[in-house]
Amino acid sequence: AQSVTQPDIHITVSEGASLELRCNYSYGATPYLFWYVQSPGQGLQLLLKYFSGDTLVQGIKGFEAEFKRSQSSFNLRKPSVHWSDAAEYFCAVGPASGGYNKLIFGAGTRLAVHP
């Protein structure tokens, strides 16, 4: 069955520290991969996406993610976190071709940033 696991429900980091949010997926075929961010009271905003090619993808707001096929992972990273990065982050997988036709979201990781 298709699924997305975000092992960390809550993460707290200090401003300026590095960040890595974990995402693992189970999918029957090669998926497309996404990270979304949701600020309080807002909708989900697309941070970055992986379709094919270079496994290290750059996104908005200084975020990057690395696709590791052997580990079925798509972890999100940022070298230096800003207070404004406090939000909830969702990993999602979607169909690269045919088959299952929905975007599957993880449960989310809530990020808190200490000054």
Partner 1 sequence: DAGVIQSPRHEVTEMGQEVTLRCKPISGHDYLFWYRQTMMRGLELLIYFNNNVPIDDSGMPEDRFSAKMPNASFSTLKIQPSEPRDSAVYFCASSYTGPNEQYFGPGTRLTVT
Which residues sit at the interface with partner 1, rule CB under 8 A?
Answer: 32, 34, 36, 41-46, 49, 51, 90, 94-95, 101-103, 105, 107-108
Supply the DSSP symbol for 69: G
Q: Dmax of the chain from CA atoms?
A: 46
Smallest distance from partner 1 to CB 43, Å? 4
Q: Judged by CB, which is closer to partner 1: 33, or 81?
A: 33
Pair of tokens at residue 73: 């992972």
Smallest distance from partner 1 to CB 33, Å? 10
Q: Judged by CB, which is closer to partner 1: 68, or 102?
A: 102
9 sits in the region (left: phi over 0; alpha: psi -120 to 50; else beta) called alpha
Smallest distance from partner 1 to CB 25, Å? 14
**CA–CA separation, 27 vs 100, rounded Å?**
10
